[in-house]
Structure 1
């Protein structure tokens, strides 16, 4: 089959693509950003679903397609109405006009029962738009999806599992984690000839557990001793979610934000029995699924680095901003005296200190703002090496300074390289 997979580079989309490709299907991957290394086994189309609200613009993508899988989604900080409703509506209209009957939509569990947030409401409205079409539609509403890959809520579970003290958020409801392989297997079932259609199913695991209990299972899987559970007061938890909102405004994709807060209060539970009846699937228990795939050292590294990533970028960005502010303020005379010692004239020294301080501030701001963070990190690396060279040439005695200003550049460079290594989200 030729299958158009919208959101094909995400957690669920990537797993579906891998399975379908292995079975010999041709996939047309649609995602917002072009892939850096195209795969010769599939066609990739860079397209922003939220902005593609004209059905005619989808027709070239759907040419020759036998089915469409819509796994595109946005949680917060993006145009949820555009992704889940307007752009998807144009896609479904194009499917209807071109005779592409089979459409599988990934929605969100509980959105049909209790739509508390813009995320849930837009998911619910997106379902309604599809159901109104004369298509062989299938709506799948997965709970928290877990598996060997990690992104979003799945990555958050691992990151929290790495903490020796587990912060327990108040007012969080139960979840029914569902394994990624079970989700993929369900998609394969509905792509088979004669598969049922016009059904909406909750993809929920067989047991309800608390979010903190799910974290504890991951911690056990990672072979760490149980963590002490610290129950956070409501105001501390709210502050943490607001920090996530700020990170979202700076372009970072974080599963901790005010939308997640509302969704966690609602929980992620559903009735898996209709899913079992229709497909014959027997969704696996989280503990059993984890036991079948023992954690390696790479998972332990990921969990620890995921928890540290916000601190690494936050502290590193603020470090550069602080050095710039200090250089223009309390450290001005120190910087000037060092440059005069190196033989620079007064006006040249003043210009150098000012330019360096402003560059530090700009670099720090770029590191904190994700769209420019790659350039900020490269600039930080280059300017750190430049400072080392200039300091060595102008004031070589700094290498013997007991406070080690020249030696401390190298740990800064190492942290810079770590930030560059973990910047990527997927």
Structure 2
């Protein structure tokens, strides 16, 4: 049986490649760096789990040994707390090539349409340099460069596209002159499988794209119609400084572990357009890539699809709301120290106890408000908020039960805060 290794196999594109290769009779081994994501994606397959960015040649040689074909579907959008573009797109590719030197293994590199050494995006520049390393090697290589990939799974830019299409009341008009072409993820995976089988030759670079593109506004309108929402009555131009400002904020959040599709490396290609030339793929005997309308016909627009699109933008706003709520609660507790302690001392408790309770609660609130902003600790912070809120309810009922009758409802208002924390904890999924 033919052996294939898919790198980044639990990703959007990598998982589709695994399924396409299995359908052609390959025994597929997978490689990734997250055990949790790996077990969720393909629990029955053999996995090599290690950090691609730091793995040495010996680690790669072991992971790729015996493979008839290696598919590199790994990558990262932007430098951040969890990602290093040079390490992932260049260093890792160089070490893979060295590990495979002298073998007959076919190497299929999945890159991106529009990459070049002088591109405005560091994602495109590092991808281009990685492609150059592959093409300079003596491997049996193929480089495929897809345009915007759509599929049933919503992740990153495709999730943002769905959310943009589901905006209520009015559509957002941005990057009006940019043209965007698309491809169905299964068409991309099938192209990879054809290359793995040797049906398309060797040592060539090809864009994978539909023939014609559309503007970002046309694309979102088409997606909105597919989702089943009524057409927008108006569209509102979004000032570019605001768009780039949001991108900079998303970049900073990347250093807290958040992989936002609003980062500048995602916005730059949208601004320039995402397009490719299908001619080389056709010359290699590849079939025509279906247009956007055909892609959407193959994707069901269910109630789950619509619900996800509406909730997607609500999640970051909910995290921001939680952070501000807990931070302000702690800061106000410190600034209103005397008034806060008086509530307890007037109920008969000592000044020491009251001061300790108020300051301790303020420090805890501020800590949780900061922790929820860090991706690694966000879910734990939300669970902590639930636990602390329950403690506040219990202690408030025990120490100052009269607050239940307070017209401002300080204890009653804890319940919606708890539900918001639960909402965020339940929705924190990436793959």
Range into which the TM-score falls when normalised by the shorter chain: over 0.9
The alpha-carbon distance between structure 1 residues 292 and 10, as it changes in their structure 2 partners (threshold 3 A), is closer
2: CA distance, partners of 1:133 / 1:142:
22
TM (norm. structure 1) is: 0.95
Q: Distance in 2 between matches of 1:70 and 1:198?
A: 15
Q: Does 1:124 pair with 2:125?
A: no
Report the more deviating stretch, 331-340 or 33-42. 33-42
Give the deviation of 1:135 after TM superposition: 1.1
| Structure 1 Cα separation of the partners of residues 332 and 69 of structure 2 | 59
Q: Any idea what SS the aligned residue of 1:368 has?
A: coil
The CA deviation at 1:293 is 2.8
Conservation of the 8 A alpha-carbon contact between 2:176 and 2:217: no
Deviations 1:133-154 (A, max 9, x none): 1111110111110111111111
What is the DSSP-based 3-state SS (H/G/I as helix, E as strand, rest coil) of the residue aligned with 1:167?
Answer: strand
Tell me what 1:50 maps to.
53
2:139 matched to 1:135? yes
C-alpha deviation, 1:24, in angstroms:
4.2
**Where does residue 351 of structure 1 map in the other structure?**
356
Shift of 1:117: 2.1
Query: Unpaired segments of 5 or more residues in structure 1?
Result: none
Give 2:67's aligned residue.
65
Q: Deviations over 1:164-191 (max 9, x none)?
A: 2222224651110111111011011111
Within the candidate set 111, 119, 132, 1:107 is matched to 111
Alpha-carbon distance in structure 1 between the residues aligned to 2:287 and 2:15:
21
Verify the 8 A CA contact 1:21 1:41 in the aligned structure 2: no
Return the match for 2:217 from 208, 212, 215: 212
Q: Is the 8 A contact 2:101 2:138 kept in 1?
A: yes
- Between Structure 1 and Structure 2, how many residues are aligned? 423
Counterpart position of 1:162: 166
Partner of 1:94: 99
Instruction: Decide whether the 8 Å contact of 2:174 with 2:237 is kept in 1.
Output: yes
CA contact (8 A) 2:115 2:127 kept: yes
1:60 positional shift: 1.3
What displacement does 1:320 show?
1.0
* Alignment match of 2:246 (pick from 240, 245, 263): 240
**Alignment match of 1:152 (pick from 147, 153, 156):** 156
The aligned counterpart of 1:221 is 226
Alignment correspondent of 1:337: 342
3-state DSSP class of the match of 2:179? Answer: coil
**C-alpha contact 2:368 2:384 (8 A) present in aligned 1:** yes
Q: Distance in 2 between the 1:79 and 1:216 partners?
A: 35
* Paired residue secondary structure (1:49): coil
Q: Secondary structure at the match of 1:50?
A: coil
Single out whichever of 164-173 and 2-11 deviates more from structure 2.
Answer: 164-173
CA distances 1:52-90 after superposition (whole Å, capped 9, x unpaired): 2x2122111112211111111111122111100011110
- Cα distance between partner residues in 2 of 1:75 and 1:273: 27
Which whole-Å deviations, capped at 9, do the CAs of 1:312-338 have from their partners, x for residues lacking one?
Answer: 111111211111111111x32332122
Q: Distance in 2 between matches of 1:364 and 1:167?
A: 31
Unaligned runs of 5+ residues in structure 2 are none
Is 1:187 equivalent to 2:192 in the alignment? Answer: yes
Aligned equivalent of 2:296, options 290, 294, 309: 290
The structural deviation recorded for 1:35 is: 2.5
CA-to-aligned-CA distance 1:19-41 (integer Å, 9 cap, x gap): 33354432222112223636453
State the SS of the aligned residue for 2:53: helix
Residue pair 2:117, 2:125 contacting (<8 A) in 1 also: no
Partners in 1 of 2:265 and 2:430 — Cα distance? 20
SS at match of 2:66: coil
Give the equivalent residue in structure 1 for 2:411.
Answer: 406
Q: Which residue of 2 aligns with 1:250?
A: 256
Other-structure match for 2:286:
280
Instruction: Give the Cα–Cα distance (whole angstroms) in 1 for the partners of residues 125 and 26 of structure 2.
Output: 33
Which stretch of the first structure deviates more once superposed, 311-320 or 169-178? 169-178
Structure 1 residues 75-84 or 226-235, which shifts more? 226-235
Q: TM-score, normalized by length of structure 2? A: 0.94
